[in-house]
């Protein structure tokens, strides 16, 4: 069973104050106290306080961030949720795979569970920054869920699955800020070799990110990937100097 202290709930651009209260209550139901708000359009009001009912402490302690990367920078595993309405369908994992995914991450690493705004969901750029995307298998005719309901379903799946799971070694997982540093190196390397010459730099980098960082990465893996990008840049610089 996953330790709830490992988990953080991250709400991106929530619009409704009522959802802040409802999510705070759901979080406390499952023992999660780390609630983070990214660019919130909503602020806690009397309705949010009422719906938090017993979880006012979680609501009051919610931390605000100006961007998703800043909210999750210390987490080695960042799991986003999507209704899969045409976005990243082939990259998503079914919610039933979540317990095995958490076991793969290990028993001590912290995990951010990221939920998008009520009206639109997460953007492609935000989805691309995840270690894995989770799909809640709702009816295709009515795929979207209330925000607090989605949080409850994900937390229940993460925390209440009790069957024994095979464990590998506890790896030293790289936090998101190190993955971002590695991707900045690759952005420079891909630009240097002319990978972006056909245009669509943002989309191309997003696809490359999904390929190399579409799962939790160990610190060694990040160092190796960064080293390859750095070697490309060094080699190109030497070649130019020898011309």
pLDDT tens string 20-59:
999 999 999 999 999 999 988 777 888 889 999 899 999 9
CB-CB contact of 12 with 116 (8 Å) = yes
Note the CATH number of domain 4-160.
Answer: 3.40.1280.10
d(CA 110, CA 129): 16
| CA angle in degrees (0–180, nearest 5) for 152-8-10 | 80
CB-CB contact of 58 with 148 (8 Å) = no
At 200-221, the pLDDT tens digits run 888 888 888 888 888 888 889 9
Q: What is the pLDDT of residue 58?
A: 92
Q: What is the pLDDT of residue 162?
A: 43
Q: What is the pLDDT of residue 84?
A: 54
Q: What is the pLDDT of residue 85?
A: 54
d(CA 208, CA 164): 35
Instruction: Identify which of 109, 111, 28 has the alpha carbon closest to the alpha carbon of residue 62.
Output: 28
What are the residue ranges in the chain where pLDDT is below 70? 1-2, 83-91, 107, 160-171, 243
What does the domain layout of the chain look like in residue ranges? 4-160, 176-242
Instruction: Identify which of 91, 90, 136 has the alpha carbon closest to the alpha carbon of residue 113.
Output: 136
Q: The pTM is what?
A: 0.75
């Amino acid at each position: 069973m996953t330790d709830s202290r490992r988990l953080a709930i991250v709400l991106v651009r929530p619009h409704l104050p009522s959802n802040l209260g409802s999510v705070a209550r759901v979080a406390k139901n499952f023992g999660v106290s780390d609630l983070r708000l990214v660019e919130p359009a909503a602020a806690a009001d009397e309705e949010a306080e009422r719906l938090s009912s017993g979880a006012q402490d979680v609501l009051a302690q919610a931390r605000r961030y100006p961007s998703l990367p800043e909210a999750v920078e210390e987490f080695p595993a960042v799991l986003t949720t999507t209704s899969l309405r045409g976005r990243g369908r082939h990259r998503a994992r079914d919610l039933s795979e979540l317990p095995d995914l958490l076991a793969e991450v290990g028993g001590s690493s912290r995990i951010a569970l990221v939920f998008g705004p009520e009206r639109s969901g997460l953007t492609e750029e935000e989805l691309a920054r995840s270690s894995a995307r989770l799909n809640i298998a709702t009816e295709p005719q009515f795929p979207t869920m209330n925000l607090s309901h989605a949080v409850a379903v994900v937390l229940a799946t993460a925390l209440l699955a009790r069957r024994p799971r095979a464990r590998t070694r506890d790896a030293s997982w790289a936090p998101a800020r190190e993955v971002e540093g590695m991707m900045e190196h690759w952005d420079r390397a891909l630009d240097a070799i002319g990978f972006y010459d056909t245009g669509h730099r943002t989309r191309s980098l997003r696809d490359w990110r999904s390929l190399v960082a579409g799962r939790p990465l160990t610190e060694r893996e990040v160092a190796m990937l960064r080293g390859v990008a750095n070697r490309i840049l060094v080699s190109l610089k030497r070649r130019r100097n020898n011309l």
